[in-house]
């Protein structure tokens, strides 16, 4: 019960929580009740936004798990952004996960693999749900390679209210599947690029959980799954 409800808070959130908490105290002392309640609710919301729960990470070889909490917005073949630097002799499938302001915003590695490159690209702050956000918005591209030599791309994309992308991954570092590597404030999208032909098990419209939900299987021969609302 304690693990379910007393969720840890990511350290990136403590400065924001401290600012709102201090403002709440000052409002209570010098302003009035109405502002105090507003600032108190914002403090509580900050604690909720920066929550960082533990997750049970699938460990079977070949699985690609979601790097973010949110809605699986789309799955399809697209050209990966050039800043990923993925090998041009392959085609890729993109799986997009859209995070709203109520989702956990800590990002996790989708695979076990070595970080090849990390490239930040400044840009606009369009609605992250738009397809053109992947090439026009501010973003951080992370290129990875699995132990089998398969290229994997992860792109953190800023959104309408997202104004800061945090990425702790560094080139040459080896990340474990489910390992935390970054965070986006406040509402955004994360794209995963896998080689075309990979068995996609994520279904557009489902809710994914970072570190737990399987998006694809690099070693399965199963076809892509379909789903419907019921």
| The model's pTM | 0.87
Q: Which residues of the chain have pLDDT under 50?
A: none
Of the listed 134, 188, 220, 224, which one is catalytic?
Answer: 188
pLDDT value of residue 170 = 93
Q: State yes or no: is 188 an active-site residue.
A: yes
pLDDT value of residue 163 = 66
pLDDT value of residue 146 = 93
pLDDT value of residue 171 = 94
Domains parsed from the chain with CATH numbers? 2-49 (no CATH), 63-217 (2.70.70)
pLDDT value of residue 208 = 95
Cα–Cα distance for residue pair 216/202, rounded to 1 Å = 7
């Amino acid at each position: 019960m304690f693990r379910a409800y007393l969720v840890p808070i990511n350290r990136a959130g403590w400065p924001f929580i401290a600012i709102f908490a201090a403002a709440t105290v000052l409002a209570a002392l010098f302003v009035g009740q109405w502002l105090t309640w507003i600032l108190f609710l914002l403090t509580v919301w900050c604690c909720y936004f920066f929550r960082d729960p533990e997750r049970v990470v699938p460990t079977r070889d070949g699985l690609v798990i979601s790097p973010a909490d949110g809605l699986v917005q789309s799955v399809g073949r697209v050209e990966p952004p050039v800043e990923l630097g993925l090998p041009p002799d392959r085609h890729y499938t993109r799986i997009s996960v859209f995070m709203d302001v109520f989702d956990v915003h800590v990002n996790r590695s989708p695979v076990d693999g070595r970080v090849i490159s990390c490239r930040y690209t400044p840009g606009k702050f369009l609605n992250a749900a738009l397809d053109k956000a992947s090439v026009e918005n501010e973003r951080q591209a992370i290129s990875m390679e699995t132990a089998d030599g398969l290229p994997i791309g992860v792109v953190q994309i800023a959104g309408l209210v997202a104004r800061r992308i945090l990425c702790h991954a560094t080139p040459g570092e080896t990340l474990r599947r489910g390992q935390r590597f970054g965070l986006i404030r406040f509402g955004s999208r994360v794209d995963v690029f896998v080689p075309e032909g990979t068995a996609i098990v994520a279904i557009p419209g489902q809710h994914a959980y970072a570190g737990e939900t399987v998006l694809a299987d690099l070693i399965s021969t199963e076809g892509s799954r379909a789903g419907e609302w019921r």
